[in-house]
Structures are given as C-alpha cells and as structure tokens.
Structure 1
Amino acid sequence: MTRRRALVACAYAVAWLAFAVPIALVLFFTSSATTTVASHDSVVRPTTDHYATLHTGPFLPDVRAPVSGPVGVDITLGKTETTSAEGLVERYAFIASQPDAQVERVERLVRRMAYDAALRGAVLGAVPILVWVAVGKRRRRELVGRLDPRHPTGVLLGVGLALVLAAVLVSQPWESRDPMLADTTDWQSLPDYVPEVTVPREAQQVQVSVNSTTYETKRLVLSAIDTFRRSKQFYAAAALATENLDLRQPAEGETVALMVSDRHDNIGMDPVARAIADKAGATAILNAGDDTSTGQAWEAFSLDSLDKAFRDYDQRFSVLGNHDHGSFVEAYLEDLGWTVGTGEVVEGPGGGRLLAFNDPRSSGLGNWRDEPGLSIDELASKIADVACESDVRVNTLLVHDSDMATEALRRGCVDIALSGHVHVQVGPNPVRGLDARRGYTYTNGTTGGAAYALAVGSKLRRPAEVTLVTYRDGRPVGLQPVTLQTNGVFEVGDWLPLHFD
C-alpha cells in the first residue's frame, strides 16, 4: 500500500510539472515590466533570442548585443528629459561607458519576472490536479462515460472543446498585436556600420538596425562612439592611477570614511572614488548630496551607480541637496539601503554620533537659493536644536550647505560639519562655540567635476574632489582631500589634523 501511494504521489508530481512548467514559461516569455533604463522610462520583456536589444525610438537606430545567459531581453525606451538629440546621445554613450549598474538593474527585474512566472505557473499547474482529486474516482468514471460520442452530453463537450481550440488557434493570443511599419531584423555589426572609426573592443559585438537610418543619425552614432571611448579611457586610467597615490593609512583604532558631494550624475567618477577609498582603507561613505541635477526618476542611473560602487559598505550615509529636491531620490536611496537625512542622531563612522539633515530647498539648473517656506536661518536653528539636545556630543553633522550648520557650530554642539553645494573646497576652518569648545566646518568640492548642475560628459568639466575623513574613538581627527584634475592628474592634499580641546 505504501509503495502504491508513493507511485500515485510521483504521478501527481509529474503531472503537476507537466502543467506548471509550460504555463510558467508562457507567462514568463509573454510578460513585461516597466523600469528606468538609461534615463528613460522603459518596458522590459524577456526573449529567447540570446540578445539584449534596445529599441531607442523612431529617430535613432535600435542596437543589440549578445548575452551569455539563456534568456535575452528586449528593452523599449520611453519618455525622458532632454534638451537636444545630441545631448541625449552623449548621455547614452556616457552611461554605456559605465554600464554595470544598469545591467544589474535589468537582470534583477528579469529574475523577479521569472520568479513571479514560476510562482503563478506552480499555482495554476496545481489547479487541474486539485480538480482531479476533488472529483474523485467514481465521479470521474461517470464523466468519462458521458464522453461517449453517442451520448448527448459527450457530443456537446466535444463540440465545445473544438470551438475553444479553434478560437485560440485563430486569435493566437501569444502573438504581439503591435503594428509594425518597418522590419528591424536587418542587423549590422557596429564596426561595419561605422567603418570610419575604430570601434572600442567593448562595443565590437554591438549590432545596429540599419534600415532607414539617415546621415545625421549616423553622425550621432559616431559622436556617441567618440564619447564612449574618451569617457571609458579617462575614468579607467584614473581608477588605475589611484594605485600610485600616497594616501595616509589608518592607524590602529582609526576608521576612514570617504566623503563625496555634488556628483550631478557623473557615474564615471564612482569607480574612481571607490578606488581611492580602497587605497586609503575606507569602510564608510558620507554623501553630502546633489547626486542628481533635477531629482527626477530618469536620473536613477546615477543612484544605481553610486550604490553599486559602495554596496558592500555597512555604513552609507547621505543627505539630499537642493538639486535632489522631491520625493524620488530619498525614497530610492532608502530602498537601496542608504541612511538618508534622518534628522536624528545615529551611530556614525568609528562608533561616533552622526546627525544628517536634508536640504529642503528646490533648484532648477540655475537658481540655487530658492527657499520655499523655510529660510536657511530657521533651518540652521532647527538643526542646532536637535544637535544640542543630544545627550552625547555630535561628532559629525552632515548637511548639503554649510550655512545649515552655522548655528550648531556657534552653540558648540558638534565636532565637524561636512557639506558640499558650492563645488569648491572650503576649510577645514575652526569655529569656537559659545561654550569655548572648538568645532570645524569643511566643504568638499564637486565629486562629479560639475559646472553648475551639469557633470555628464566624456571628461571632467572641472576638477573632481573627494575627501578622506579619519575617525578615532568616533571623533574626527583628520581630513585628506584628493582631487582629480581635468587632465587626469591627481593632486593629493596633505592630511589635515583636527584638534579639539
């Protein structure tokens, strides 16, 4: 009896797999999901052609590249924000030069789609098995008897099944109903498409859809290749050059945090910043804001890149800058596991106390000091109230604009206020508080090498800076700025000790 039950159970399992697997595969390969790719709202669909295909729209040619896994992907780009076609193509090339974060985003989405399809397939595959069991042996025999073609019920069932099958075959619901005005199956390798230039090795497997492309479109592609090559070479060389930097190493009992600010979408600097951090033995990151230029969802690629570079850090602190205004950046970073401007004292690098406040102001690409509803003095007073009410002295106050920290320093409630915003290094400057206790204010230059709020391009628009902050027993004891010049040469500043009474 036990063996019989085991055989029955195996039969049910095989039958369930026979239903579940095909259903899951159909659901998976007919599914789609929306996300943000390459600064566009995009629709992602899994395919069986072993290519990652990017549909860029009616003006630019589609592109594709082979993938190593069993599943390909089809990405249709939707709306984005741009001021010109040239600027958009330059952005594509810049993102393509640091593609890992975008590739991971799509891979995670496809894996989630596969998981969802497998779960639904498992549930739907169990339905006929459960119905079979629920009907029971006796009732099944009665129903089989009624399937006799000579029985009226059997005739009706046969005709009904035939009509359903015919309807499915005619309608073909698995086929796309999208009207196609052009067949985009004519693909050409990128080196063949633009023989005028030497295509970088990383892009030689890329293929381009060549139907109806214009001379002007081809010029944009040539421009993108040039941007890709120069950006790849510049930032790769900079990351490699960090091996030769003479950076102070942490002594026993010390902790080093890397400070960045005002990246403004320059994802090329992220692997460079991480290489500097590794060389200096950093284990935490302090981000003083303005990771984006507008704070909109199309700039998710910048946040993905920052997160990928420092994902393995346990301590990742960030504040919003005036250009990060809105709900998107904060929610996105928090979903990625960052601690973002909580307005509460938390444990910081080296076990010290850290307080971080977001900049509530909004800015476009030009106006940096729009202050709706809350003046900078009122905000500074609010921050000082929180810092001074803490039972333990705040070791690090992380803000975007140094003006937000003036009152807390004046009252003598913090060791150091770290900020960005003005795109140039200021300090460290000592501040003597009302209680005669010393604090410091320090402003990091733009890590993205940004001019105003723009940093995307094949090279730096201005020098890019990060700062290494050394902590001992939770208190900041020294700063070391590191600057990458526009010509690719590093300037390592002296380690600047901080002295407290």
Structure 2
Amino acid sequence: MAVSSRRRITALVITLAAVALVTLPWALFTSRADLTFGPHEAQYRITADSRLTVDFGPLGKVLVPTEDVIPLGLGVHVDIGEIPVSGESADDERPAADPDAVADPGGGSVDALGGDIASYASLFSAPQAQIDEVIDGLSQEILTRWALAVCVITGGLVGLALFLGPTRVDTIIRAFVGKELLGIGLVLVLVLTGLGTVVLNRPQPISPDPAFEGTPLAGSQVTGRLGGIIDTAFGAVQDFAADNDAFYDDVLETLRAQWNDRPITGNWTDRGLVPPARVGAPADSGGDGEGQKGVTTFVFGSDIHCNIGMARVVGAVAGMSRADAYIDGGDISMTGTSAENYCLDVLDDELPDKLPRMIVKGNHDSMGTTQHAKTRGWKVLEDSTAEMAGVKFFGAADPRRTVFGSGPQLETDLTADQYAQRLRDEACQADFDIMLIHDPAVGAPSLRSGCTDYALSGHWHRRVGPENFGSGTRYVNSTTGGALANALTPGPLKMNAELSIIRVDNETKRPIDVQIITVTPDKKVQIDPWVRFPEPRPLVGQPPVDEPGR
C-alpha cells in the first residue's frame, strides 16, 4: 500500500526539524566572525565556557566571567590579530590646524601610537558599539552557516530520495511508521550527548586578578607573560578612560547649563520673518528644529578624527537643538582602517534615535569607512545627491586617502585638481540646494562657475565664513574633534573643538544662519550669536582666488 500524503508531509517535517536541531550546535560553535577589538583585527567565536577569552597569543590571555551577561553557559573567544596600518609610520608630522603650516590637516603618527591606547580606553567609555558589532557579526555568521547546513543536508536527502525512487522511499517511510517518537528521541540523545561532552570539558574556574578590583573587569584573570605587565598597561588605559569621561562629563554639564541662555536671535527665514512664539522654550519641551516653523535645523560637524568624547557633545547638541538631521563633513576617523569603524559607531550611538544622518568621505577616511556608514543607515554622498529633511545635498568623496608616512594616496584615477573640475561639471548638471564636500579647495571650482550657490566643508581645522566665494557662498567648519598638530586627538581636548548649527529656510532651501558651539581645553563652552549666510552674488571680473591648504 502506498504511503499517504499525510505520512509523507509528517516525515518531511520531522526530517527538517531533526536536521535543524542537529546542525544548530554545529553552526553555533564553528562560526567565526572577523571583526575588531580596540585597534586590532580580531576573530570571534562562540564557546561553552561562560567566559570571554581574549587571546593575545604568546603574551597570554585575558579571561572575563560572563555568567551574568551571556545565557545558557555560553562564552566568546577572541583571537587578537594585528593592528591594521596604512603605509609606514616614520613620518612624525601630524597635519595641523593651520593649513598654511601643513598641507594636509588630519591625523599623524602620534595618533597612530596614542590612538591604540585610546581605542582600548574606548572599550570602557563606550563599550556598547563594540558589543553591537560582535552580536551582529556572530549572529549573521551563525544564521548563514545554519541555513547553509540545513539546505545542504536537506538537498542531499532529496537527491537520495530521487535516486532511490518512490517505491524504495515508501518502503523506508513505512519502516518508520509509528516510530516517530523514537526518531525524535534519538535526535535529542545525540544533541544532549554533544552538549554534555562540551559541559564536561569546561575549563577550571577563573582566578580573579586583584588588579581589576573596582573596575568593569572585576573578576577577570590574566595568564601568561601578559600577567606581568597588566598592572601598568591596564592602569594606563583605565586612567585614560577615567580622564576622558571626567573631562566630557564636565563639558556636557556646562553645555546643558548654558543651553537655555544661548543667543536665540537671528534671521528665522531668509525673508526676515519674526520668530514663532515657541522660540526659547526649554530643550525638553518637544517639537522639531527648536520649534521653528518654516525652518529646518541641521547640526554640522567635521574632522572628529575619532574623538569619541566629542561624539557625546555632538549627540547632546543634536538632541537639545531638536535638529532635523546631522550632517558630517568627513574625517570621522584617522586613517580609515576597519578598526576605526568603531569611531563612527560611537557617534552613531550618541546621536538621537531615528535622527537622519549623512556623511561625505574625508581624506582621512576610506571607502570602507563610508561603506560601513551605509550599513548603519547613514546616507553617503558619492558623486550623488541625497535629500535630508527636505533639503537636497550634493557631494562626492575626497579622492585621497591620507596614510602615515607615505602621505596622501589617490583612491581614484584622478588627482585632486582633476577631481575638482569633474565635480564642477557634475554640479552644473545636478539639481541640488547645498554642496557638502570635505575639502573646500575641491569645491572651489563649483562655486566659481556659478553652478553651486552654497557649499559646506571642513578639512582645514579652522573656521572660514560664512562668506562669499566666487559667485556662491561657502562655510568651512573647524575641527569638531579638536584635532591639534602633533597631539593625540582622542581624549581631553588639546585645542578648541567646534560644532555648527545651521538653519535652512524650508521654502527657498537656502541656509539662513549658523551658530557656532566652541568647546575649549579648559572645559569652557561658548555658544556664539547667529551669523547670517550672505546671499550668493554674480561673479563679475573677480580674479582667481588662491586656496590655502592645497
């Protein structure tokens, strides 16, 4: 008698369930995720030892108990790799805040060394970005591996069934009729036996290192040669993190205290309309764009250079100003390595949830930096236009990538000058309201040509404008990270850091005015009066303008 279709379906469901159940532990414990750990490349995998194991190879291991944070007795093993670098590190010149002194503002070899300590310290100051990255990476690898295993085994069984033919398959199914529970039991025995073996092979309990008492790593153990230097090394990292947190805690306290007393006058539209009644309301009273009707508010930063402390300030300003969007003029990292994606992740986490955000690549970022930004939901300008809060922006990635020792390297087939000319041609054909470009010199031909009315930039580490330039108007933001020549950018500020709030008229889509927020190395916060954007003007017999920082 032929096997009924119901029996066939039951057998198929049981087979799929058994395959899924058997392959899940395999997928869980064999998956590998290539991510980062502080400044290092690192490979992560799931274990069954209730601990986080950070393996530094011959130096030893750091063992951290995880019973309270990872369920089911699971743990994570991290194999630490190299610190990714670009070029040689023999060049001690750190591009400066003064573009006339150094041709390329941005990171330097001091940051290359000190940035490693800052990256470790960031794990204490803002660990959530690293945790999210690990969870996402491992989850993707496990699900991919599990789905692949189920598909391969199921496909093999289907192929075997086709090879045997319906008659033999019916005979096999009849042999298991009424024995479904036995089959399920066998599968469970196999799974539990495997898990039991893992549990029985669990390592010895962790012996806590006294050096970690009173820290986030309390209860951890260090093995091997690493144990001999952990007190000094961990103390340096902990002190750096503590100083960084204390500095920006004070800055944020000062910022919040001054916020409601900030200058609120200004041209509320480019037609001079009076401000609405809600102007000056407390920051937590709700509403968009500081309660301004007909006005869109943007928070604009640039050249953060991995200063995660200032990322907290950016997030606070975006929230208190009730900004409609955040735009970044580039150089969010120092060299654009994969490990420095963490710098963008921290800023992304600090910005208000669901706040639209946009970035253009700077010369200290890489194509990988902006690709990572896309995965976090950022809009990226790459010879393209994008709309943010009703305003259409146009921009392109900086063609260079500045690396330590070897200087700028072109990431395109065009030089910076050639790229600027191509950008001008594209601007003349594009429909947009505001250009966002990292280097003002790259955007200069577009302003001179009359094809761009307004341009926002960074790169020079000093503020310029808003001012007329060519037949348009430009504004150059200073460094939001406080990036000083030959000094470590992450950590307490070594020079002034600036962040801009820009208001745009919703009807004309023209920038109205800008307010500068300055944070100083002595933790003072200055909120300037609003400065009006001058109207673009026709270019009449104006001589060529030499650009600083070329």
TM range (shorter): 0.7 to 0.9
Where does residue 279 of structure 2 map in the other structure?
A: none
Q: Which has the higher contact order (CA 8 A, sep 6+)?
A: 2
What SS class does the counterpart of residue 446 from structure 1 fall into? coil
User: Taking every aligned residue pair, what percent have the same amino acid on both sides?
Assistant: 24
What SS class does the counterpart of residue 116 from structure 2 fall into? helix
The code of the aligned residue for 2:493 comes to L
Where does residue 424 of structure 2 map in the other structure?
A: 384
Is the CA contact 2:379–2:386 (under 8 Å) kept in the aligned structure 1?
no
Determine the C-alpha separation between the residues in 1 that align with 2:345 and 2:4: 55
Is the CA contact 1:64–1:207 (under 8 Å) kept in the aligned structure 2?
yes
What SS class does the counterpart of residue 217 from structure 1 fall into? helix
Could you say if the C-alpha distance between residues 58 and 369 of structure 1 is closer, same or farther in structure 2, counting changes exceeding 3 Å? closer
Determine the C-alpha separation between the residues in 2 that align with 1:373 and 1:119: 41
- Structure 2 residue corresponding to 1:441, chosen from 471, 474, 478: 474
> Does structure 1 residue 73 correspond to structure 2 residue 112?
no
Is the CA contact 2:51–2:63 (under 8 Å) kept in the aligned structure 1?
no
Between stretches 285-294 and 26-35, larger displacement belongs to: 26-35
> What is the Cα deviation at residue 123 of structure 1?
3.0
The code of the aligned residue for 1:449 comes to G
* Residues 352-431 of structure 1 aligned to structure 2 (within 5 Å): 352-365=391-404, 377-390=417-430, 392=431, 394-431=432-469
The code of the aligned residue for 1:485 comes to T
What SS class does the counterpart of residue 526 from structure 2 fall into? strand
Is the CA contact 1:255–1:283 (under 8 Å) kept in the aligned structure 2?
yes
> Does structure 1 residue 230 correspond to structure 2 residue 248?
no
The code of the aligned residue for 2:78 comes to I
Is the CA contact 1:98–1:232 (under 8 Å) kept in the aligned structure 2?
no
* CA deviation vs aligned residue, 1:6-64 (integer Å, no higher than 9, x gap): 56644553344233202221232122232233232211101223333322343364142
- Structure 2 residue corresponding to 1:98, chosen from 103, 126, 142: 126
> What is the Cα deviation at residue 143 of structure 1?
8.5
Determine the C-alpha separation between the residues in 1 that align with 2:450 and 2:113: 52
> What is the Cα deviation at residue 415 of structure 1?
3.3
Aligned alpha-carbon RMSD (Å): 3.8
Where does residue 115 of structure 1 map in the other structure?
A: 143
Determine the C-alpha separation between the residues in 2 that align with 1:207 and 1:480: 47
> What is the Cα deviation at residue 280 of structure 1?
0.6
Where does residue 492 of structure 2 map in the other structure?
A: 459
Where does residue 167 of structure 1 map in the other structure?
A: none
Could you say if the C-alpha distance between residues 129 and 349 of structure 1 is closer, same or farther in structure 2, counting changes exceeding 3 Å? closer
Is the CA contact 1:16–1:125 (under 8 Å) kept in the aligned structure 2?
no
Could you say if the C-alpha distance between residues 461 and 432 of structure 1 is closer, same or farther in structure 2, counting changes exceeding 3 Å? same
Is the CA contact 1:267–1:302 (under 8 Å) kept in the aligned structure 2?
yes
Where does residue 379 of structure 2 map in the other structure?
A: 339
Determine the C-alpha separation between the residues in 2 that align with 1:104 and 1:415: 41
Is the CA contact 1:365–1:452 (under 8 Å) kept in the aligned structure 2?
no
Is the CA contact 1:449–1:455 (under 8 Å) kept in the aligned structure 2?
no
Where does residue 187 of structure 1 map in the other structure?
A: 206
Q: TM-score, normalized by length of structure 2?
A: 0.71
Where does residue 106 of structure 2 map in the other structure?
A: none
Where does residue 24 of structure 2 map in the other structure?
A: 24
Could you say if the C-alpha distance between residues 314 and 213 of structure 1 is closer, same or farther in structure 2, counting changes exceeding 3 Å? closer
- Structure 2 residue corresponding to 1:470, chosen from 478, 483, 503: 503
Where does residue 316 of structure 2 map in the other structure?
A: 275
The code of the aligned residue for 2:79 comes to T
Determine the C-alpha separation between the residues in 2 that align with 1:460 and 1:63: 33
Could you tell me which runs of 5 or more consecutive residues in structure 2 were left unpaired when the two chains were aligned: 90-111, 174-193, 265-289, 537-550
Determine the C-alpha separation between the residues in 2 that align with 1:73 and 1:254: 49
The code of the aligned residue for 2:437 comes to V
> What is the Cα deviation at residue 290 of structure 1?
1.2
Determine the C-alpha separation between the residues in 2 that align with 1:271 and 1:118: 38
Is the CA contact 2:395–2:435 (under 8 Å) kept in the aligned structure 1?
yes
> What is the Cα deviation at residue 237 of structure 1?
4.5
Determine the C-alpha separation between the residues in 2 that align with 1:142 and 1:405: 76
Determine the C-alpha separation between the residues in 2 that align with 1:57 and 1:456: 30
Could you say if the C-alpha distance between residues 426 and 57 of structure 1 is closer, same or farther in structure 2, counting changes exceeding 3 Å? farther
> What is the Cα deviation at residue 103 of structure 1?
0.8
Is the CA contact 2:39–2:116 (under 8 Å) kept in the aligned structure 1?
no
> Does structure 1 residue 289 correspond to structure 2 residue 317?
no
What SS class does the counterpart of residue 257 from structure 1 fall into? strand
> What is the Cα deviation at residue 131 of structure 1?
7.3
* Residues 207-286 of structure 1 aligned to structure 2 (within 5 Å): 207-239=220-252, 241-244=254-257, 245-246=259-260, 248=264, 249-286=290-327
Determine the C-alpha separation between the residues in 1 that align with 2:205 and 2:344: 35
Where does residue 370 of structure 2 map in the other structure?
A: 330
Determine the C-alpha separation between the residues in 2 that align with 1:61 and 1:365: 30
Is the CA contact 2:125–2:241 (under 8 Å) kept in the aligned structure 1?
yes
The code of the aligned residue for 1:74 comes to H
Where does residue 347 of structure 2 map in the other structure?
A: 306
Determine the C-alpha separation between the residues in 1 that align with 2:31 and 2:381: 37
> What is the Cα deviation at residue 428 of structure 1?
1.8
Runs of 4+ deviating beyond 6 Å: 82-86, 140-144, 366-373
* CA deviation vs aligned residue, 1:222-242 (integer Å, no higher than 9, x gap): 111111222233334444554
Is the CA contact 2:41–2:83 (under 8 Å) kept in the aligned structure 1?
yes
* CA deviation vs aligned residue, 1:231-277 (integer Å, no higher than 9, x gap): 23333444455433245535112111111111112223223211111
* CA deviation vs aligned residue, 1:314-334 (integer Å, no higher than 9, x gap): 64322222222x532233333
The code of the aligned residue for 1:187 comes to I
> What is the Cα deviation at residue 426 of structure 1?
2.1
Could you say if the C-alpha distance between residues 85 and 211 of structure 1 is closer, same or farther in structure 2, counting changes exceeding 3 Å? farther
The code of the aligned residue for 2:339 comes to W
Where does residue 450 of structure 1 map in the other structure?
A: 483
Is the CA contact 1:349–1:471 (under 8 Å) kept in the aligned structure 2?
no
The code of the aligned residue for 1:464 comes to A
Q: TM-score, normalized by length of structure 1?
A: 0.77
Could you tell me which runs of 5 or more consecutive residues in structure 1 were left unpaired when the two chains were aligned: 145-171, 177-182, 434-438
> What is the Cα deviation at residue 119 of structure 1?
1.6
Determine the C-alpha separation between the residues in 1 that align with 2:114 and 2:205: 25
* CA deviation vs aligned residue, 1:134-171 (integer Å, no higher than 9, x gap): 65796479899xxxxxxxxxxxxxxxxxxxxxxxxxxx
The code of the aligned residue for 1:293 comes to M
